[in-house]
Amino acid sequence: MWNPSLFVGVAAACSAACTPGPPTGGFAAPMTLGGKAVSADVLTEGQRAYAVYCRACHGDRGDGKGPAAKGLRPPPRDFTLGMFKFAAVPGGTLPGDDDLKRIVRTGLHGTAMRGWDGIPERNLEAIIQYIKTFSSRWREEEPGEPILVTPDPWAGKEAEGAARGRALYHGLAQCTACHPSYLSKQGIDQASRLLTGNGVADFRDDMYGSVLKESDYGVKLLPPDFTRFKLRSVRAEHRREDLYRVIASGVGGTAMPTWRGGLPENDLWALVHYVDSLVALQGSDEPRRMREANLRADAAWQPSRAAR
C-alpha cells in the first residue's frame, strides 16, 4: 500500500545524504578554495585532524551540530554558511588564513571555543583548508582585502584621543543604538551638537544597556557592554591592536559595520582609545558609579527647545 509519509521520510534521508560536502574517506583530487589550490593530501590530513580537534562541537558536516554542541550558547560556528565574525577583512567577506589561525590559537572569550595552542602547525594549516570544503563560498570567492592596523595618531596623547572618541561614540557614530551609553542625556546632547550641530530629541528607554540584535547566524546577539564583558576576539596583550581590527573591519553577519573608510583614521583610532578606556574599567566599581551619576543627571536635565 502506498504510504506517502514513508516516501517523504525516505526522500528527506536521501536529500540529507546527498547534500554536497567533503567526502567521508579522504580526497582523491585537489580543490581550489579561496582562490588557492589545495592538494588532496592536505585536505585528507585536515579531515583527519578536524575529526580529532573540531568535530565534537562543529559536527561531521561542519554545521555546528556536533555531539557536544547541544546547549552551547553561543552555538559553535556553522562552517556551511561561509560566514565569520572576527576577521581583519571588511565584515561579510571571507577571512584570510591568518584570521582563522588566530581564532583557533587564541579562542573566543565567553564561548566554548577554547584556544588550541597544542595543535601542530602542520595540522592547523590542513584543518583550515579542510573547513573551507563545507561551504561553496570558498569555491566561488576569495578572501576580502586585509585591513591592516595603521600607526596610532594618538600615541603619547591617549587621553585626548579617548575624549575625542567619547564624543564620536555618543554624538556621531551612533554606537549607542546597539551598545550602552556611558554619558548622561545632557552629555550625549552636547556631543551631538559639537559634531553634528543638532541636539538629541529622543533617547531609547534602556539607554544604559545593550540592545538584542538580529544576526545572520540564526540567533540574536547582545552587543557587549565594554565595562563588563570580555570581548570575544580581543587579546589582553594586543588589546588596542585587536580593538582597531574589530572596529575597522566590523563583525561579519551582525549589526556591527565596517568603519574603515566610514571615519577618518584619526577618528577611528579615537574610538579605539575610548573603548580601550572603558575596557580598562572592568572589575572596578567605576561603571556602577558612572551609571548612577548619569541617572541623577538625567533626572534633573531638561532638553533645550531646539532639540525637541
pLDDT at 304 over 90: no
Domain that residue 193 falls in: 158-307
pLDDT for the residue 21: 61
Average pLDDT estimate for 190-210: 95
Percent of the chain with pLDDT over 70: 92
Q: How confident is the model at residue 159 (pLDDT cuts 50, 70, 90)?
A: very high
Bridge partner list, 260: 263
Q: Compute the average pLDDT of residues 275-285.
A: 98
| Residues 289 and 191 placed together within one structural domain of the fold | yes
Give Cα 219 distance to the centre of its chain. Answer: 13
Question: If residue 133 lies in a helix (H) or strand (E), which one and from where to where?
Answer: none
Same domain, 128 and 178: no
**Based on the domain organization, do 164 and 41 belong to the same domain?**
no
Assess if residue 18 is contained within a domain: no
Contact 143, 128 (CB under 8 A): no
Amino acid at 211: V
Q: Do 167 and 286 lie in a common domain?
A: yes
Can you read off the three cell numbers belonging to residue 131?
573547513
**Span 254-266, pLDDT tens digits:** 999 999 999 999 9
| Same domain, residue pair 175 and 301 | yes
Same domain for 241 and 303? yes
Instruction: Give the containing element (helix H, strand E) for 136.
Output: none
Whole-angstrom distance, CA of residue 292 vs CA of residue 126: 52
Give the count of domains, the chain: 2
What value does the mean pLDDT take over residues 113-118? 93
| 124: CATH | 2.60.40.420
d(CA 67, CA 202): 47
pTM of the model: 0.88
Neighbours of 225 (CB within 10 A): 16
Element spanning 263, H or E: none
Query: Which grid coordinates are listed for 223?
Result: 552587543
Residues 189 and 298 in one domain: yes
